[in-house]
Amino acid sequence: MHDISPNRSPLSDDEVNLIDRYWRAANYLSVGQIYLLDNALLRQPLQREHVKPRLLGHWGTTPGLNFVYAHLNRAIRADDLSVLYVCGPGHGGPGMVANTYLEGSYSEIYPDISRDADGLQKLFRQFSFPGGIPSHAAPETPGSISEGGELGYALVHAYGAAFDNPDLIVACVIGDGEAETGALAASWHSNKFLNPVHDGAVLPILHLNGYKIANPTVLARMADDELRKLFEGYGHEPLFVEGSDPATMHRLMAETLETAFARIRAIQQAARDDGNKARPKWPMIVLRSPKGWTGPKEVDGLKVEGFWRAHQVPISNPRGNPEHLRLLEEWMRGYQPEKLFDDAGRLLPELQALAPDGNRRMGANPHANGGSLKRELKLPDYRDYAIDVPKPGAVLGEATREMGKFLRDVITLNAEQRNFRIMGPDETASNRLDAVFEVTERQWMEGIEPYDVHLAQDGRVMEVLSEHLCQGWLEGYLLTGRHGLFSCYEAFVHIIGSMFNQHAKWLKVSRGLPWRRPIASLNYLLTSHVWRQDHNGFSHQDPGFIDHVVNKKADVVRVYFPPDANTLLWITDHVLRTYDRINVIVAGKQPAPQWLTMDQAATHCDAGIGIWPWASNERVANEPDVVMACCGDVPTLETLAAVDLLRQVVPDLNIRVINVVDLMTLQPDTQHPHGLNDRDFDGMFTRDKPVIFAFHGYPHLIHRLTYSRANHERMHVHGFEEEGTTTTPFDMVVLNRLDRFHLAIDVIERVPSLGVAAAAIKQQFRDALIEHTRYVRAHGEDMPAIRDWDWPYGTAAKAGD
């Protein structure tokens, strides 16, 4: 960033006139997008047929957004700044499109929307129109990284964008409706994690126009003194810009932005050049302006400007009401388009000159198209972290602890690039990823006590007890070209379900836009999962996030259930190499049997699903009597234990064991790129044999994924049945009938050849369940036979072993 003078001369009358005309042009284009089909420059009297039949858009927040954009342009030109504009108000699309069109970046991406009367006509027509563009600052909008379709995430996205971008300023406009959300309220604490040495700056601009859709907003009704104290308490230096007279507001906004940018430069200089380690008071702006500013004052005798009636379409029926048509024309002509555009419909040269050049234009800032800046991660060889597995189940291991060693070296290899971070809500060590602290610390800009552990002003791990912040930081980080991982307790990742929705939708749309370059995938590690939350109890037991995930487009989502450490290592390496995806990994952190060598794990994960011959008891020439499938680490353990029970009591039973590591392989290949075709699925699961399926999550998800398969009606799924409490690990699976005894009983009941002859065996297994219940209630731990069980067979399970 170049030096910024905080004492630049105030705007001259000529400068005020120019910037006001530029602002009027943006406002004119915004109104035109909402209302007009034709007659874009009002070269003839406005007729009803010039107006769209369905008026879809939001005016109220837009003039304030345009005002900020115009003044940021001035600051960028004056000091050659790199500024990213994050538009928080969800319905600010008209303004973002208008400004990127005025600066030229829109037409460069969409040449058909040319910078003339014909292009202007198309610009208006396409907005909120079938076959056109959405009303939000969507992926289609140049310069956007935050759609605003759901409110609350603008500020946390802005901070995610600023981390490790030392030359970037992220100007984040926060609507006062958005400011009422919990996610946004938590986001103000992000400044405690922003390091002025290595990170960029965020300039929050709280845009208080007084109202949301039908009510006043809380912050807008607060007095300035109370607001000042609030934001000073958050660690900011609030600067106020308030009023409605355009000339006065232009001068005040220009002066305030100069002050804010000078403060930012001083903070960064003190940290970078002078070694100042104190957490700074970053500036922020409170902008108070009327809702629907410069729009109609009244419509049908009712107050509009400065009131919630300006929120959407202030003049509601210009096609059917002549007075409304007159008001619309008066409103639009009030911007004096003939003084803004030439005869060909081009913005006048003196106004074009107000926009920055090249990549300094906010619509062309490369950070808003992060894939263009993305550098591939340097990854170690995952094989170097393999657990030696001499035979299945022979050793115990903690899967996520091995993953942590791999991530430690990912951090080391990419230290110079500073493009990888781990986010999580205070659980990195708890989730056994603590090897990363051998090479980095937790980022922390507050005070550090001598007895604190792994806190520093520079760290690759970011922990805060807000899943919203972890998710939002990572989204902003990825969208601006970097890489990362979000580690979370499985039950509480639900908190960010809506944020996941928005990011998945962003990726889905972006994949259809050639100019949007691919970004690194959003990777989740869900651990401390449902089957090992026996100590925390029912509140911590919920595997349902994956049900939500698989609703999204197949091109976007992947769900992985590694059964052991070596499979987790392969999957971790894989997901960190992918782009434009959301990858969900569900893996336990507790000591557990290890099943596959690294070579076996790589082959198995590459296929995503497979028969485990060493665990099966099939005679080569015959089809199995039963298929026992498993997906997830605990279901795999219980399935193999059930196989052991059955081989002891019915040794002639032909059992096939299938393990699923990539959940989406269960879908047909016509529905998901990873799905099996029907021939391969039938070859594995058979067309007519019972399938006892032990699944990590809710059973209905397996039925949903396999409903079209030939053998679906014989698919009997065991999973989480919403039964939980504080109990022992094995009692958790018993409560949900996922344990080895219930699985074995189900096999006996489903295999026709066993029938009545196996009644005594079923009774034996039921007695074992009764014994288990008595034991855990008497001793508070699982029976030794359960705790100490291991796979008693060799690597190849043959009949009679």
Per-residue confidence at 146, pLDDT binned at 50, 70, 90?
A: confident
Least Cα distance to 294 among 27, 18, 25 occurs for: 27
Structure tokens given for 789: 């069980």
Give me the residue label for tokens 């072993």. 801
Q: Which residues contact 397 (CB under 8 A, 6 or more apart)?
A: 387, 564, 565, 591, 592, 594
For the chain, the straight-line distance linking the first and the last C-alpha, in angstroms and rounded, comes to 72
The C-alpha atoms of residue 153 and residue 87 are separated, in whole angstroms, by 10
Average pLDDT over residues 41-51: 97
Q: Please compute the mean of the pLDDT values over residues 340-368 and round it to a whole number.
A: 98
> What would the pLDDT profile of 149-159 be if each residue is shown by its tens digit?
788 999 999 99
For 599, counting Cβ atoms within 10 Å of its Cβ (0-12 exposed, 13-18 middle, 19+ buried), the class is exposed
pLDDT for res 794: 73
* Confidence tier at 148 by pLDDT (50, 70, 90): confident
CA 657-662-664 angle, to 5 degrees, is: 110
pLDDT of residue 386: 98
Are the CB atoms for 236 and 260 separated by under 8 Å? Answer: no
Q: What global pTM score does this model have?
A: 0.96
Asked whether the predicted pLDDT for residue 204 surpasses 90, the reply is yes
| Mean pLDDT, residues 451-458 | 97
Measured CA to CA, the distance from residue 274 to residue 282 in angstroms comes to: 17
Measured CA to CA, the distance from residue 92 to residue 311 in angstroms comes to 11
Is the pLDDT confidence value at 581 over 90? yes
Q: What is the pLDDT of residue 798?
A: 39
Asked whether the beta carbons of 208 and 228 are under 8 A apart, the reply is: no
Contact 465, 425 (CB under 8 A): yes
Give the whole-angstrom CA distance, residue 674 versus residue 422.
27
CA distance 471 to 503: 10
Task: Check residue 668 and report its DSSP letter.
Answer: B
Residue in this structure with the two tokens 């731990």, named with its chain if needed: 781
Average pLDDT over residues 611-639: 91
Least confident window among 8-12, 172-176, 543-547, 598-602: 8-12
Dihedral, CA atoms, 509, 514, 519, 521, nearest 10 degrees?
50
Q: Please report the pLDDT score of residue 724 as a whole number.
A: 86
Q: Are 660 and 643 in contact (CB under 8 A)?
A: no
The answer, yes or no, to whether residue 728 has pLDDT greater than 60, is yes
**At a CB cut-off of 8 Å and minimum separation 6, what does 139 contact?**
147, 506, 509, 510, 513, 516
Mean pLDDT of the 217-237 span:
97
pLDDT tier at 795, thresholds 50, 70, 90: low
Q: Across the chain, what does the average pLDDT equal?
A: 95
Span 513-529, average pLDDT? 96
pLDDT value at residue 2: 36
Encode 549-579 in three state secondary structure: HCCCCCCCEEEECCCCHHHHHHHHHHHHHCE
Q: Which of 146, 211, 214 is nearest to 183 (CA)?
A: 146
The one-character DSSP state at 299 is E
In the prediction, which pLDDT does 10 show?
81
CB-based burial label for 703 (10 Å; 0-12, 13-18, 19+): middle
Residues 736-742: contacts with CB under 8 Å, at least 24 apart: 738/531, 738/634, 738/635, 738/638, 738/694, 739/638, 739/769, 740/638, 740/639, 740/641, 740/642, 740/644, 740/645, 741/642, 741/645, 741/765, 741/766, 741/768, 741/769, 741/772, 742/718, 742/769
Query: In this structure, what DSSP letter does residue 333 have?
Result: H
Mark out the alpha helices in 36-92 (DSSP H runs): 62-79
The confidence band for 758, taking pLDDT boundaries of 50, 70 and 90, is: confident
Task: Determine contact, residues 475/160, Cβ cutoff 8 Å.
Answer: yes
**Measured between alpha carbons, how far is 617 from 625 in angstroms, rounded to an integer?**
10
Whose CA is closest to 733, among 635, 608, 652? 635
What average pLDDT does range 248-270 have in this prediction? 98
pLDDT of 620? 61
Instruction: Give the residue carrying structure tokens 């050659």.
Output: 80
Residue 16: Cβ within 10 Å count = 18
Residues 6+ away with beta carbon under 8 Å from 538: 724, 725, 726
Has residue 425 got a pLDDT over 60? yes
- Do the beta carbons of residue 318 and residue 309 sit within 8 Å? no
CA torsion, ordered 764, 768, 774, 778, to nearest 10 deg:
140
Q: pLDDT tens-digit profile of 644-697?
A: 999 999 999 999 999 999 999 999 999 999 999 999 999 999 999 999 999 999
How much is the pLDDT for 277? 92
d(CA 576, CA 627): 33
Which of the two residues, 4 and 588, has the higher pLDDT score?
588
- Provide the token pair at 545: 């996030």
pLDDT-based confidence at residue 536 (cuts at 50, 70, 90): confident
At residue 532, the pLDDT reads 86
> How many whole angstroms separate alpha carbon 595 and alpha carbon 601?
9
Q: Where are the beta strands (DSSP E) in 117-265?
A: 168-175, 201-208, 236-242
**Rounded mean pLDDT, 362-387:** 97
Q: What length does the chain have?
A: 801
Grade residue 621 by pLDDT with cuts at 50, 70 and 90. Answer: low
Contact criterion met (CB below 8 Å) for 31 and 331 = yes
Q: pLDDT value at position 801?
A: 36
Q: For position 4, what pLDDT does the model report?
A: 41
Residue 149 has a pLDDT of 74
Instruction: Determine which of 131-135, 347-351, 371-375, 635-639 has the lowest per-residue pLDDT on average.
Output: 131-135
So what's the pLDDT on residue 777?
Answer: 95
- 799 confidence band (pLDDT: 50, 70, 90): very low
Structure tokens at 103: 């600066």
Question: What would the mean pLDDT of 63-81 be, rounded to a whole number?
Answer: 98
Cβ-contact 289, 207 below 8 angstroms: yes
